[in-house]
């Protein structure tokens, strides 16, 4: 295996060379439909962003997943089963972690103008597990930062991110308003940076334990960020999430599981001649598929170079085993991020004292 391609050089090279069952915690994606706009702060340096040949829109129940093609440079194999058996088309895709921001606005000449930003939060219900790791009938309300991954093409998305970072301002310090225009082959993105406006990271650090995707990595991460500045902690969180997402995307067991679930051609628009007519027996619906009830739209046309992914935001109920064994308590009122951070620091101090 080779090393994973990363950074601005990989983005630019890709842009130039373009011709045109078991339950697992999951990481939401930041996704744009036509005319959508999102304010984001990237939590990874451009040079740390991997570039993959990705198989996307793999059906899993009512949602879609993605994995790295076996023909990617990292694996270096001559063929990929999704492409060979099910007509999938690998696409060059960069992956990064970002958190969504909300502008703090003021009225200037009867127009709303951002004067700063804060981290957006989401709330959902999480299944409570007992001391033995068994699910109970209780749930707890959880507040989490709206953090997720971005998987997009280097040709119409990440080339702009890379250029902004190189020529305007660091993307790890700047709120970016990213807007999608058009669809299919005509998709483009506009980018507006607010490099002079402050970003309040309190919600990201204070509610980090609401990111269920961290799993068993939460406790060591809390130890790591305890003495860091908010800006340093944000990058540590982003690195941990990106590392976990990379491991997930290149995991062979997950690849095989996704492959086993495909039952019909993935060439939805007839772009490949000789489209295969294979069919498999309907696989047993996995817990990961069963827990998702919301429908997602399929891409309108797979012939374009847009590497968007369907949204996968948390549902109302998510079964996630806490990283710590202590029995979770049912939340009755939302805590402030400052209070949450005080609790996290106190627990980190107790762990440090216990190790002595």
Q: Average pLDDT per run of 10 along the chain, which is 356 residues long?
A: 65 55 71 90 96 94 92 94 95 97 90 92 84 78 94 94 96 97 85 96 95 92 94 97 96 96 85 55 41 40 44 38 41 58 63 56
Distance CA 136, CA 271 (A): 48
> Tell me, what's the pLDDT at 334?
60
Report field, pTM of the whole predicted structure over 0.85:
no
> Tell me, what's the pLDDT at 112?
85
> Tell me, what's the pLDDT at 110?
83
Distance CA 187, CA 305 (A): 8
Three-state SS sequence of the chain: CCCCEEHHHHHHHHHHHCCCCCCCCCCCECCCCCCCEEEEEECCCHHHCEEEEEEEEEEECCEEEEEECCCCCCCCCCCCHHHHHHCCCCEEEEEEEEEEEEEEEEEECCEEEEEEEEECEEEEEEEEECCCCCEEEEEEEEEEECEEEEEECCCCCHHHHHHHHHHCCCCCCCEEEEEEECCHHHCEEEEEEECCCCEECHHHHHCHHHCHHHHHHHHHHHHHHCCCCHHHHHHHHHHHHHHHHHHHHHCHHHHHHHHHCCCCCCCCCCCCCCCCCCCCCCCCCCHHHHCCCCCCCCCCCCCCCCCCCCCCCCCCEECCCCCCCCCCCCCCCCCCHHHHHHHHHHHHHHHHHHHC
Structure tokens at 214: 């961290």
> Tell me, what's the pLDDT at 130?
76
Burial 196-223 (b: 16+ CB within 10 A, else e): ebebebbbbbbbbbbbbbbeebbbebbe
- Contact yes or no for 100/110 (Cβ under 8 A): no
- Contact yes or no for 74/250 (Cβ under 8 A): yes
């Amino acid at each position: 295996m080779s090393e994973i391609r990363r950074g601005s050089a990989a983005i630019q090279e890709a842009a130039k060379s373009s011709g045109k069952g078991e339950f697992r915690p999951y990481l939401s994606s930041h996704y744009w439909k036509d005319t959508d706009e999102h304010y984001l702060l990237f939590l990874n340096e451009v040079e740390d962003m991997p570039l993959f040949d990705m198989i996307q829109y793999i059906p899993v129940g009512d949602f879609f997943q993605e994995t790295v093609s076996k023909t990617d440079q990292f694996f270096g194999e001559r063929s990929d089963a999704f492409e060979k058996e099910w007509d999938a088309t690998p696409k060059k895709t960069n992956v990064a972690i970002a958190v969504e921001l909300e502008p703090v606005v003021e009225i200037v000449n009867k127009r709303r103008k951002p004067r700063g930003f804060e981290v957006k939060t989401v709330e959902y219900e999480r299944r409570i597990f007992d001391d033995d790791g068994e699910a109970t009938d209780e749930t707890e309300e959880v507040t989490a930062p709206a953090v997720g991954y971005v998987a997009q093409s280097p040709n119409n998305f990440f080339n702009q991110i890379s250029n902004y970072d190189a020529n305007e301002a660091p993307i790890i310090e700047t709120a970016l308003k990213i807007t999608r225009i058009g669809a299919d082959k005509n998709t483009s993105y506009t980018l507006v940076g607010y490099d002079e406006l402050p970003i309040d990271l309190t919600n990201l650090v204070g509610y980090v334990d609401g990111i269920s995707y961290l799993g068993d990595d939460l406790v060591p991460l809390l130890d790591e960020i305890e003495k860091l500045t908010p800006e340093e902690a944000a990058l540590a969180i982003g690195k941990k999430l990106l590392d976990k997402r990379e491991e997930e995307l290149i995991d062979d067991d997950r690849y095989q599981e996704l492959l086993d679930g495909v039952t019909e051609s993935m060439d939805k628009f007839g772009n490949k001649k000789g489209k295969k007519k294979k069919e498999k027996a309907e696989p047993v619906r996995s817990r990961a598929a069963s827990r998702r009830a919301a429908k997602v739209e399929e891409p309108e046309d797979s012939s374009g170079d847009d590497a968007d992914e369907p949204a996968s935001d948390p549902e109302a109920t998510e079964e996630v085993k806490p990283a710590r064994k202590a029995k979770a308590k049912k939340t009755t009122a939302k805590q402030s991020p400052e209070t949450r951070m005080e609790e996290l620091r106190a627990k980190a101090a107790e762990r440090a004292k216990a190790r002595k």
